[in-house]
Amino acid sequence: VSLERALAAVVGDRHALVDPGLRAPYERDWTGRFGAPARIVVRPGSAAEVAEIVRICAQEGAAIVPQGGNTGLVGGGVPRGGEVVVSLGRLDAIGSVDAALGQVTVGAGATLAALQAACRAAGLDAGLDFGARDTATVGGAVACDAGGVKALRHGTARAHVAGVEAVLADGSVVSRLAGLVKDNAGYDLPALLAGSEGTLGIITAVRWRAVPAAPARVAALVPLASAEAAAELLAALRAHAPSLESCEFFLDDGLELVLRHQRRPAPVRRAPMYVLAECAATADPTAELAAALDACGIEDAVVADDTAGREGLWRLREGHTEAIGAAGIPHKLDVGVPLARLGRFLAEVPRVVERAVPGARTILFGHLGDGNVHVNVLGPEPDDERVDDAVLELVCDCGGTISAEHGVGVAKARWLERARDAADVAAMRAVKRALDPAGILNPGVLLPNPAPAAGAGADL
């Protein structure tokens, strides 16, 4: 029996995609930069089916790429060539929300937007949000430890994990979905899986910890002269506005690109830099926001307290990814730098990029409150790594991190050893070896792959 036939027997022919046309959407990443043909794409409908798939692949030494919504930006969720793609989209059930605990059990394939809607209906907030919400899955968000626009207040995805159910590399199923607030009996496997990018297990369900809803909202778009002025505003927001939920930034060339893409005029005075801050509380937080703006002597902020107005401002920030994608295939580097060095970093990035690949175009934006910068470079060929190396070198020089929220993926795996010290990487390798000794789960992602997993070629 071929591997393909054995897998089709588990999920049914409809959900075992071998035809190149049917496989195609699962084989190329959102940016268009990464991807290769898969051996087969399978779409299991239950954790038991996932376990059976993994058992068959383990027996065969066939490499697996877990995939959620395929919105990841570091190439970790698409094949590198010949792997079995396990797409979790059908595991999208959402249980009833336990309002007393503020928790809900959600299938790994449910979209972030669906989780948000379920939490909202129960008077809660999922506490995690980002632009790809309608397609990105909860499993993918946990696997990447996604951050987004509310991490400043509510933490990254891992802060919301009260438990997981996951299939390990031998096909065994670990289930910790009881949602016990206190449960320290042994190692915290759910925490280990958060941020593991599909290399330690396939997450099939998540026990999600929501946060209280904060329906009274006000946003401000503030034009600023420099990163130093932005840091000063962030400090004032922290001091005067405990309701601060998001603090984002973008630069004027990014705004220009977005305005052209969205065919709209600028709603704000043009300046070198912009901060978009949002406060959220149960009672109107406008006075807190105003106090922070006053403390910085800011008089020309655009303030919106109605939904349409706020969404209009947010489209400027969230529209960056799409506008950049429409302009070409970008190199995307999601990095973190200490706030004190942000000004230096923002000034130097375009220079090091230009030196690495003359004529390349740099667009910078990100989550100011987390010191998280998205460096987007248009121009270099997808497989030309020179700009990536130049930017990551600068990040390390600034004492920052090579991955803040998108993950390491394949895009930055070869940088892990530069970014973490030897003992740290050795411990990570030991964990990987213990949980996936044959290296079948997402080989080449996160850890640079010393010995690629055995090919997926043989018959069962």
Ligand X SMILES: Cc1cc2nc3c(=O)[nH]c(=O)nc-3n(C[C@H](O)[C@H](O)[C@H](O)COP(=O)(O)OP(=O)(O)OC[C@H]3O[C@@H](n4cnc5c(N)ncnc54)[C@H](O)[C@@H]3O)c2cc1C
- The site for ligand X (CB under 6 A) is made up of 30, 65-73, 76-77, 88, 108, 130-132, 136-137, 139-141, 143-144, 146-148, 197-198, 202-203, 321, 405-406, 442, 445
Q: CA–CA separation, 73 vs 34, rounded Å?
A: 9
Q: How far is the CB of 312 from ligand X (least distance, A)?
A: 18
Q: CA–CA separation, 77 vs 316, rounded Å?
A: 27
Nearest CB to ligand X, comparing residues 85 and 218: 85
Residue 454 three-state SS: coil
Nearest CB to ligand X, comparing residues 361 and 406: 406
Nearest CB to ligand X, comparing residues 356 and 365: 365
CB burial of residue 427 (10 Å; 0-12, 13-18, 19+)? exposed
- Residue closest to ligand X when measured from CB atoms: 140
342 is written with which tokens?
Answer: 């942000």
Q: How far is the CB of 283 from ligand X (least distance, A)?
A: 28
Q: How far is the CB of 33 from ligand X (least distance, A)?
A: 12
- Contact in structure between 198 and 442 (CB atoms under 8 Å): yes
Q: How far is the CB of 170 from ligand X (least distance, A)?
A: 16
Among all chains, which residue has been given the structure tokens 């692949």?
Answer: 57
Q: CA–CA separation, 39 vs 25, rounded Å?
A: 14
CB atoms within 10 A of CB 271: 17
Among all chains, which residue has been given the structure tokens 């383990």?
Answer: 58
Paired sense of beta strands 244-251 and 361-367, if any: antiparallel
String of DSSP letters for 243-293: TEEEEEEEEHHHHHHHHHHHT---SS---SEEEEEEEEESS--HHHHHHHH
Indicate the DSSP class of residue 460: -
Nearest CB to ligand X, comparing residues 318 and 388: 318
- Contact in structure between 33 and 382 (CB atoms under 8 Å): yes
Nearest CB to ligand X, comparing residues 166 and 230: 166
Q: How far is the CB of 442 from ligand X (least distance, A)?
A: 5
Bridge partners of residue 207, in order along the sequence = 105, 163
- Contact in structure between 70 and 40 (CB atoms under 8 Å): no
Q: How far is the CB of 335 from ligand X (least distance, A)?
A: 13
Nearest CB to ligand X, comparing residues 73 and 391: 73
Nearest CB to ligand X, comparing residues 174 and 303: 174
Q: How far is the CB of 287 from ligand X (least distance, A)?
A: 29
Q: How far is the CB of 336 from ligand X (least distance, A)?
A: 12
Nearest CB to ligand X, comparing residues 406 and 432: 406
